[in-house]
Amino acid sequence: MPSPPPLTSLRVIEFAGLAPSPFAGLLLADAGASVLRIDRATPGSAPPLPTPDLLTRHKASLAVDLKSDSGVALLHKLIPHVDILIDPFRPGVMEKLNLGPEVCLKWNPRLIYGRLTGFRRDGKYATMAGHDVNYLAVSGALSLLGRAGENPHPPVNLLADFAGGGAMLVVGILMALVARASTGRGQVVEQNMVDGASYLATFVRFAQGTATGNRPRGKNLLDGGCPFYDTYKTKDGGYMAVGALEPHFYRELLKGLGLQGSRWDGKGQGDRAGWEEMRRVFAEKFKEKTRREWELVFDGTDACCTPVLGYGEMKGDIAAKEGDQRPAVTLRETPLLAVRKDARNTSHGQGPGVDGEGYVGRPLVPGKGGAKVVEEWLGWKEGREFTVRDGGMVLKDVSKL
């Protein structure tokens, strides 16, 4: 029988942000941590509206008036009892709230204080607003992305926001937890998306000094310059992805395409002078069949040729398309929480799942579930230790706590 998820005993306060910081909290929550999102209170009698954040799986929310002394005081009382804090704000915001790392680590020396910014805190862009495309741009990574002759183009906001930001912040938090196990002390973990994206591009940067990547953008082996590492449109408007780099995989690709014995067989693979003609021939061949027909040709082979699947079709054909959403990693002894509420998925997650098959985010209304988490953490009761005022939770009587 598996044990509980690996981070079950950890308590996390995640100040509400967008994209990368909620993703960091999501990774921790899926691993069993108790994650409490701190939302801004919305005064008024109308029920609060859900926030734009959809990365709320396994989380609860606490609405707090950060402009109120009693609201901030409530956080002052919570922080000594948590393990991890996630700060998504620009430099200086938490300090203005008297919630900066120096103060919080004084109250709780074991606290892991995770800070996530877009630009470097000590760089020339530190005070400027930005988005994923800007962080990629100044990291150098954006200069590597895109087709030859076209503008550099970001892969939506996957690379800087989520990989270089949220995921890398969690890597730092886990490192700090390991260090705390031996030192007994927490620490500040600073992550920015510029450094995160730059680090993720390590191999590509190194490859610029080799035959793999020493040509201009879009003319290298892995960036669209190579016809046997590319995507091709099929007869029905679908796409197939080709990654037949090694000679034995390449031969399997030619076999599936019916091109054995062609001029590109054998040494022809490495003849760059013929690559554009090869690309044209490959494109014509792929248009001869539907995507499904090509799947039947290449499934089970080593041609490194697979369909380009869309999430919409994966939802409706889970068994055939490997579309079931699972936790990011599988820990056999302490598996992560289930991503969806479906008994069939029990071998790929432990404990409660969520509605929506993992493809649909569920907005979290500010304040939902927060009182229950505070009671679980500290034994506090509404009306005794805290109350709700102007849409936010505040300490009932600061002098008695």
Catalytic residues: 161
Sign of the dihedral defined by the CA atoms of residues 23, 35, 56, 72, in that order: negative
Query: Residue type at 158?
Result: L
Q: For residue 213, which phi and psi values (nearest 5 degrees)? A: -145, 30
Q: In sequence order, what are the beta bridge partners of 84?
A: 12, 112
Instruction: Quickly list H helices, 240-378.
Output: 247-257, 275-286, 291-298, 311-316, 318-321, 370-378
- How far is CA 275 from each of CA 147, 224, 255, 278, 379, rounded to the nearest angstrom? 15, 11, 18, 5, 68
Q: For residue 400, which phi and psi values (nearest 5 degrees)? A: -95, 0
Q: For residue 25, which phi and psi values (nearest 5 degrees)? A: -65, -35
CA torsion 339→342→348→349, rounded to 10°?
60
Apex CA 389: angle with CA 386 and CA 393, to 5°?
A: 45
Q: How far apart are CA 281 and CA 151, in angstroms?
A: 26
For 19-42, give one letter per residue: b (16+ CB within 10 A) or e: bbbbbbbbbbbbbbbbbbbbbbbb
Three-state SS at 311: helix
Q: How far apart are CA 181 and CA 112, in angstroms?
A: 12
Three-state SS at 257: helix
The closest alpha carbon to 15, from 36, 42, 30, belongs to: 36
Structure tokens at 367: 């304040």
Q: Are residues 234 and 286 in contact, defined by beta-carbon separation less than 8 angstroms?
A: yes
| CB atoms inside a 10 Å sphere around CB 145 | 19
The closest alpha carbon to 165, from 140, 146, 189, 186, belongs to: 189
Which residues, in sequence order, are CB contacts of 268 under 8 Å at separation 6+? 262, 274, 278
